[in-house]
Amino acid sequence: MKILITGCRGQLGTELQRQLANEGCVLGPLPERLRKATVLPVDIDDLDITDREATVAYIRRHQPDTVINCAAFTNVDGCETNRDAAYKVNALGPRNLAIACDKIGARLIHISTDYVFPGTPYGPEGKTPMDECCTPAPISAYGQTKLLGEQYVQRFCRRHFIVRTAWLYGYHGKNFVKTMVNLAKNHREITVVNDQCGNPTNAVDLAYHLLKLAVSHDYGTYHCTNNGVCSWYDFASEIIRLSGDACKVFPCTSAEYAADHPQTANRPAWSALENRALRCSVGDEMRDWKEAIQEFFATWDGADGCKN
């Protein structure tokens, strides 16, 4: 089997390559079909997915069985000030990959986000995680361009998986976990919003489930996050506790944070996801978010990699 991974230098692309090389992870072995798979990791230097003709030609030349699109413009605030770039990468890129994959009959696994939702309370008490039946209504340029990317994938590629995840962190690259750890080294206290809630997600868990989907025929839209819901303040508090640092974490509201950071994009207050489609198809082995972050600290080398 041949798998092409776009955005190969990011935290998810790197984790996918690690699991394919090791033929598994802490959650278990990879499906038999993926062992000894041929992996084609590409980044913008190899393939500019915003160039339709180049993308179609590249996919036709290399003939992958599955393309996993990890490439994205994920700077939420940056998307507000550079909407053209966000549109090109988050919407046109997936469209071009969808067109290219459909031409050769390849599967396309496209990574999307909880930010396609508006953040309004959901369920009887306003605290029910949203499943794949819920209607997207993004409130930021990032969410809007990611939703358009989803729609293009649905329209142009028959064999597609759209996988929404949230609050992703991993061994490689920049993420919230590493930001908090670095801030704690230089500050006695930090302030984090406590009125935005979602699901922290370990890239190990996400990559493992993406690779299970890669050999299935259960096409469609999926949510894939670690289980359990918390606020950014809760998440930051657990990160600092596990780091062993003496830094104190204090809560604030989104309005208070925005007053100090006026260029901040709107973010959903409630974006907790329910992995219903995953559970009803290939199975939901996503760990509880606290278990996953504890295992991350036990195996993280403190820099840009894994101890083992």
Task: Return the active site residues.
Answer: 142
Q: Which of 93, 113, 108 shows the shortest CA–CA distance to 219?
A: 108
Phi, psi of 12, rounded to the nearest 5 degrees: -80, -45
Judged by phi (left if over 0) then psi (alpha if -120 to 50, else beta), residue 64 lies in: beta
Q: What is the largest CA-CA distance in the chain?
A: 56
Cβ neighbourhood burial of 132 (10 Å; 0-12, 13-18, 19+): middle
Residue 92's identity, in one-letter code, is L
Answer yes or no: are the C-beta atoms of 108 and 69 closer than 8 Å: yes
C-alpha distance from residue 49 to each of 35, 56, 59, 121, 226 (Å): 27, 9, 10, 36, 29
Q: Is the dihedral of CA 234, 237, 239, 242 positive or negative?
A: negative
How far apart, in whole angstroms, are the C-alpha atoms of residue 20 and residue 18? 6
